[in-house]
């Protein structure tokens, strides 16, 4: 089925408008977040900046990759959201860009949940265990989440399971052969890349809520990591349709995918998460005030002394 048949008339333009809004929110929001974190780092407390940077970069690159298909560097091509918007208008995505987008989308999903997991662990163990050794461990964990996502994302590319899906508005994984191959891949990928980090996140949040770890110390200065529960809630809500659609596929012996509307919803909601994270950061008062102060200073014109008269004595 072609994209034109899948999205006739007003539905197509409504989706383009929604994706355009999500891309704008993500690009502007995450760019401002990076600016605030660099320019205002002394004006708010952020002890665990590494997972925040990793998460913000993942969101920003996911916004930026895939608008144009020829080149993937120097800002000439933008990835996932803009690529879906362009695919709706032009009728699909071509190889090899099709395979690249599919691989990187899974890498971004995995790196996002991995960064949140690292943030929750750091927030739980806190200042007591801070040191160069811990930093190396956490940096390795963030890097491992990116690499793990890239590895699992490359498996469908190697086995040629990738083709354009009009419902998801991008290239996705389809199985036309063995159910056992599909079930083994989904179970392994989700267990390692999503379920295991999510269990780690959930465990850390429960321990933090019970007063364990440094996050339970109310005497410390308010840290940006206080937004971690909101980040987890946003990620869970936005990626639930994606997980449900994959579980439906897992339960169908004939290898038929989930309904079209659910696959479309999974793409729209996963894109929304990239734009919501900057808004979540702004719920932290010190971060919000530091960012507003920076923007106000940049926008406020600097008054220069002007010579208006000369008095001769």
Q: In the beta sheet, which residues pair with residue 170?
A: 165
Q: Is 300 within the bounds of a domain?
A: no
Task: Give strand ranges (E) for the chain.
Answer: 162-165, 170-173
Kind and range of the H or E element at 146?
Answer: helix 132-158
Largest CA distance in the chain: 100
**Residue 250: partners with Cβ closer than 8 Å, 6 or more residues away:** 182, 183, 186, 187
In which domain, by residue range, is 48 found? Answer: 3-215+229-288
Q: Is 297 within the bounds of a domain?
A: no
Q: Using alpha carbons, list the distances in angstroms from residue 173 to 30, 152, 254, 266.
A: 28, 12, 15, 14
Backbone angles phi, psi at 165, to 5 degrees: -115, 110
Long-range contacts of 211-217 (CB under 8 A, 24+ apart): 212/124, 213/123, 213/124, 213/125, 213/126, 214/123, 214/124, 214/125, 214/126, 214/127, 214/128, 215/123, 215/124, 215/126, 217/126
Q: Is 301 within the bounds of a domain?
A: no
Q: What is the pLDDT of residue 33?
A: 83
Q: What is the pLDDT of residue 148?
A: 92
Q: Is 307 within the bounds of a domain?
A: no
DSSP-derived secondary structure for 27-57 = HHHHHHHHHHHHHTTTTSB-S-HHHHHHHHH
Q: What is the pLDDT of residue 296?
A: 78
For tokens 């179970």, what's the residue?
187
Q: In the beta sheet, which residues pair with residue 162?
A: 173
Q: Is 224 within the bounds of a domain?
A: no
Q: Is 311 within the bounds of a domain?
A: no
For tokens 């102060």, what's the residue?
293
Q: What is the pLDDT of residue 313?
A: 57
Long-range contacts of 8-14 (CB under 8 A, 24+ apart): 12/88, 12/89
The total domain count for the chain is 1
d(CA 71, CA 66): 9
Q: What CATH number did the domain enclosing 164 receive?
A: 1.20.1070.10
Q: Is 220 within the bounds of a domain?
A: no
Q: What is the pLDDT of residue 199?
A: 92
Mean pLDDT by 10 residues, the chain (313 residues): 57 86 84 80 73 78 48 41 80 79 84 88 68 76 89 88 84 78 88 90 86 55 80 91 89 84 90 87 85 72 52 61
Residue 59 and residue 277 in contact, taking contact as beta carbons nearer than 8 Å:
yes
Cis omega (within 30 of 0) for bond into 252: no
Q: Is 299 within the bounds of a domain?
A: no
């Amino acid at each position: 089925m072609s994209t034109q048949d899948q999205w006739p008339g007003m539905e197509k333009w409504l989706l383009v408008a929604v994706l355009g809004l999500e891309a704008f929110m993500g690009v502007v929001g995450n760019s401002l977040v990076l600016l605030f974190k660099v320019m205002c780092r002394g004006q708010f407390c952020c002890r665990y900046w590494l997972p925040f940077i990793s998460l913000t970069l993942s969101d920003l690159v996911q916004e930026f990759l895939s608008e144009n298909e020829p080149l993937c560097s120097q800002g000439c091509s933008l990835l996932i959201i803009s690529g879906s918007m362009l695919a709706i208008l032009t009728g699909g995505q071509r190889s090899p860009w099709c395979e690249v987008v599919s691989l990187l989308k899974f890498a971004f999903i995995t790196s996002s949940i991995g960064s949140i997991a690292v943030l929750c662990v750091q927030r739980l163990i806190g200042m007591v265990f801070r040191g160069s050794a811990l930093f190396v461990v956490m940096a390795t964990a963030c890097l491992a989440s990116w690499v793990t996502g890239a590895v699992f994302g490359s498996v469908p590319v190697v086995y040629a399971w990738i083709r354009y899906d009009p419902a998801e508005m991008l290239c996705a994984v389809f199985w036309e052969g063995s159910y056992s191959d599909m079930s083994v891949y989904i179970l392994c990928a989700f267990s390692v890349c999503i379920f295991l980090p999510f269990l780690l996140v959930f465990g850390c949040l429960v321990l933090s809520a019970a007063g364990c770890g440094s996050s339970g110390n109310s005497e410390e200065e308010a840290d940006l990591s206080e937004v971690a529960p909101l980040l987890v809630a946003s990620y869970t809500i936005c990626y639930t349709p994606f997980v449900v659609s994959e579980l439906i596929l897992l339960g169908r012996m004939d290898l038929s995918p989930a309904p079209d509307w659910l696959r479309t919803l999974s793409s729209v909601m996963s894109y929304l998460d990239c734009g919501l994270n900057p808004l979540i950061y702004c719920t932290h008062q010190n971060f919000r005030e530091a960012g507003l102060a920076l923007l106000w200073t940049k926008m406020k014109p600097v008054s220069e002394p002007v010579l208006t008269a000369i008095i001769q004595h």
